[in-house]
Structure 1
Amino acid sequence: MKFNPVIEHLKTYEPGKPIELVVREFGIGSDEIVKLASNENPHGCSEKATEAVRKNAHLMYRYPDDTMTALKSKLSARFSVDEKELIIGAGSDQIIEFACHAKLYGGAKILQSEITFAMYQIYAAQCGATVVKSPGIAHDLDAMYELYRKEEPEIVFLCAPNNPTGDCLDRVDIENFIERIDPDTLVVVDGAYQEYAAFKDPNKALDPAVLIEKFPNVLYLGTFSKAYGLGGMRIGYGIARRDIIASLYKLRPPFNVTTLSLIAAERALEDQEFVKNSLKDCFLQMESYLAFAEKHGIEVIESYTNFITFLLDGVTDSTALADALLRRGVIVRDLRGYGLNAIRITIGKAEENRRFFDVAEQILDSGAK
């Protein structure tokens, strides 16, 4: 059977290993496994969201409200944007897909940092686009601008904070960069972890309303998967000028977000106290990771997210360490596929983090593989 030849060269996105797979592969009880690989909120989600889903479970047979008016109204109030400047997706990555299909045709290109969220490249490649990457672990905006002038891409992706490294550009630097970009180039600002960055450092905080007012070519992305703890509900959003949103809507399938996902997101937005407490605990727990890294001579990338990246050159091999941890029931993300000898670790609850420290210390001290 013949398929689009573009598919032959596509890479499949590899998520963190699920607990169920580790149970099957290594015979470890599910209660003995600590998953620190997918940047989920270890505190779950707001009880308000959980209770709302319970109360409305009987609506599963109904198609969702395809206007998504209730959630848009809450997002509109939260970000001071018009409801027509919002689009809701099955995760913010679905909106990345819409953007790529809207802008990438006829030999188009995208520009991104060398090490960043894998789905930018995957969706672009699905459209037959060329992917241009600026060098280095972090976003180098000067290098990106030089490549922008040379390659003339249709889309520029900025991930702030960046996944999988955790570093974050300053708001001023992002705005200064966008000012130099042609208005016909779409600039996608991925703020999946913005709640964490804004909590840690106001200089990193992005205001979507300000961005789209200043720049007619910006598409800001947010998600309920991280700080709000709704990864399993698959719901995110995009904010942009009306003309961009109108174009993306033409690519949106009907009923793309479930009834219960919409209800959960609406209630989650109401419970900012839950979010605040989650953020506070995240950075409190991160201090223990910094102490562990210092003890073992491990370099870290300063993180503005709910995960931390350990750079392991001169210490150990990242794949060997990740595999040894996995066999002992601790799931982390090996970044060797990004060309880094590094692991990415989600910040968990205190007891989950202690399990990582105990197991990782045994492995590092013994040299076991």
Structure 2
Amino acid sequence: MTFNSVLDNVNIYEAGKPIELVVRDYGIDPKDIIKLASNENPYGTSPKVIKALQKKSSSAFVYPDDSMYELKEALAKRFRVEDKNVIIGAGSDQIIEFCVHAKCTKKSKVLMAKTTFAMYEIYAKQTSATILKTPSDQHNLDEFRKIYEKEGADIIFLCLPNNPMGECLDAKDVYKFLDEIDKDTLVVLDGAYQEYASYKDSAKKIDVKKVIKKYPNVIYLGTFSKAYALGGLRVGYGIANINIIQNLYKLRPPFNVTTLSLEAGKIALQDEKFVQKCIKKNFKEMKRYEKYCVNNSLKFIPSYTNFITIYTGKAISKEIAQKLLELGIIVRDMTGYGQNAIRITIGTKEQNKKVFKSLDKLLNLKKQ
């Protein structure tokens, strides 16, 4: 059987290994497995959300409210915009897919950082668009400008902060860059980890209302999968001017987000105290990783997210990741991104203690 030839050049996205697979492959007791590969919130979902889902589960046989009015209203209130400026997706990556298919043809060009969220490139290649990447792994706006001035672009992706590296541009620099972009170029500001970045440094916080009011060619993306701990329910959103939202709606399938997902997102927004508590713990534990790296001469990228990228030095990161897996610790090997590094989600205190102890042994950092 033959398929669309464009798929020959499309890579399959490799998600972090699930706990169930590690149990089957290595016979490790599930309670002894630590999953630190997919940047989930290790403190779990808000108790208020769990309670609301239990109550809402009885209506699972009914199609969800396709207007998604309540969640859109809640997001509009949070970001001080109107509900017509909001679109909801099955994760923010579905909104990325809408953006690419709304703008791109085989003649299009899509500009992004050299090392960034893989789905930007995967979706763009599905349209046969040309991929343009900066020379640097981390976001460098001067490099973006140089390429844009020479090549142009139909879409520009800025990941703020950047997954999988962890760095984050200052908001003022982003605004300055947006001032220089042609209004027919769609700029996607991916804020999947913005809750973490803005908590750590207010200079990183994107003013969503200001952005969509001033820049008619910009869409801001957010997700409930990270700080709000709803990764298993798959709900994200995009915020932009009405023209962009209306065109994206032409690509949105009916009932693309479940009833429980919509309810969870709405209630999660109401429990900001829980979210801030989780983020505070995240950066407290992040400092332990930074100290560990400094004390053991390991290079790392200062992170504005809930993960940290650590270079493994002379040790081969793929081998380290595999050995950690065999010990029941799931991390992300960065070999596929051209990095001899591992990306580790910041876990709980006890989880991180186990990671440090395992790395000591695997990297021969301390005498056995």
TM-score range, shorter chain: over 0.9
Is the contact between residue 84 and residue 242 of structure 2 (CA under 8 Å) also seen in structure 1? yes
Shift of 1:102: 0.2
Residue matched to 1:92: 92
**Partner Cα distance (2:2, 2:324) in 1:** 41
Matches within 5 A, 1:1-369: 1-313=1-313, 315-365=314-364
Relative to structure 1, the CA distance from residue 214 to residue 366 in structure 2 (aligned partners, 3 Å threshold; closer, same or farther) is: closer
1:176 maps to amino acid: K
Shift of 1:312: 2.3
**Partner Cα distance (2:267, 2:242) in 1:** 26
The sequence identity of aligned pairs, in percent, is 53
**Partner Cα distance (2:162, 2:76) in 1:** 25
Shift of 1:267: 0.3
**Partner Cα distance (1:142, 1:292) in 2:** 33
Shift of 1:295: 2.0
Secondary structure of 2:156's counterpart equals: strand
Shift of 1:320: 1.1
Shift of 1:106: 4.0
**Partner Cα distance (2:45, 2:332) in 1:** 23
Shift of 1:151: 1.4
**Partner Cα distance (1:45, 1:85) in 2:** 27
Q: Return the TM-score normalized by structure 1.
A: 0.98
Aligned residue pairs total: 367
Relative to structure 1, the CA distance from residue 159 to residue 366 in structure 2 (aligned partners, 3 Å threshold; closer, same or farther) is: closer
1:250-274 Cα shifts (integer Å, max 9, x gaps): 0000000000000000000000000
Q: Which range moved further: 206-215 or 194-203?
A: 206-215
Runs of 4+ with deviation above 4 angstroms: none
Is the contact between residue 106 and residue 130 of structure 2 (CA under 8 Å) also seen in structure 1? no
Shift of 1:358: 1.0
Q: Report the RMSD for the aligned CA atoms in angstroms.
A: 1.2
Q: Return the TM-score normalized by structure 2.
A: 0.98
Secondary structure of 2:178's counterpart equals: helix
Gap runs ≥5 in structure 2: none
**Partner Cα distance (1:49, 1:32) in 2:** 26
Secondary structure of 1:56's counterpart equals: helix
Shift of 1:219: 0.5
Shift of 1:366: 7.5
1:285-304 Cα shifts (integer Å, max 9, x gaps): 11111111112210111100
Relative to structure 1, the CA distance from residue 274 to residue 366 in structure 2 (aligned partners, 3 Å threshold; closer, same or farther) is: closer
Is the contact between residue 188 and residue 221 of structure 2 (CA under 8 Å) also seen in structure 1? yes
2:363 maps to amino acid: L
1:356 maps to amino acid: V
1:30 maps to amino acid: P
Secondary structure of 2:158's counterpart equals: strand
1:311-369 Cα shifts (integer Å, max 9, x gaps): 223x42111111111111111000010000110000011111111111111111279xx
Secondary structure of 1:304's counterpart equals: coil
Secondary structure of 1:266's counterpart equals: helix
Secondary structure of 1:284's counterpart equals: helix
